[in-house]
């Protein structure tokens, strides 16, 4: 994956260096887990990119996150956090802005600290 421009995602074949534009709407939620220079496979139908397959997990930095409330120790308490790709992920209270986390791209869920 190279970059996003408007509603199009640009991918490059690692062998031929050919660049392919894929409509972000065709990719759906998978686009929320793409970072520049990530590897992804583009699915084609009749010569047109119709989807992508990404890595099962990505490592991403938390860019926005409210601080956890001290004393709120109920099990499985989460809070929303925005990661560098723009996706919002529910994370445990101990995760802070600037932390690097592992996210499951199949479910969009927090997996662990990276």
pLDDT, tens only, 81-108: 999 999 999 999 999 999 999 999 999 9
In order of 25, 37, 48, 54, 79, the CA distances from 100 in angstroms are 28, 18, 35, 19, 16
Span 10-35, mean pLDDT?
92
Task: Specify the CATH number for 57-113; select among 1.10.1370.40, 2.40.50.140, 3.40.50.261, 3.30.70.3040.
Answer: 2.40.50.140
Distance between CA 29 and CA 12 in Å, rounded?
Answer: 20
Taking 70 as the threshold, does the pLDDT of residue 72 lie above it?
no
Sign of the dihedral defined by the CA atoms of residues 109, 110, 111, 114, in that order: positive
Tell me how long the chain is: 114
Task: Specify the CATH number for 3-53; select among 3.40.350.10, 3.30.1050.10, 3.90.380.10, 2.40.50.140.
Answer: 2.40.50.140
Q: In what order do the strands lie in the sheet with 3-5?
A: 3-5, 8-12, 19-23
């Amino acid at each position: 994956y190279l970059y996003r421009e408007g509603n199009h995602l640009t991918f490059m074949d690692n062998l031929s260096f050919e660049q392919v534009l894929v409509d972000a709407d065709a990719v759906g939620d998978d686009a929320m887990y793409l970072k520049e220079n990530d590897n992804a496979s583009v699915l084609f139908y009749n010569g047109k990119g119709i989807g992508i397959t990404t890595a099962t997990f990505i490592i991403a930095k938390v860019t926005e996150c409210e601080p956890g409330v001290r004393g709120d120790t109920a099990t499985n308490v989460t809070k929303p956090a925005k990661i560098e790709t723009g996706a919002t992920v529910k994370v445990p209270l101990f995760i802070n802005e600037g932390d690097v986390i592992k996210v499951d791209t199949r479910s969009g869920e927090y997996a662990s600290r990276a």
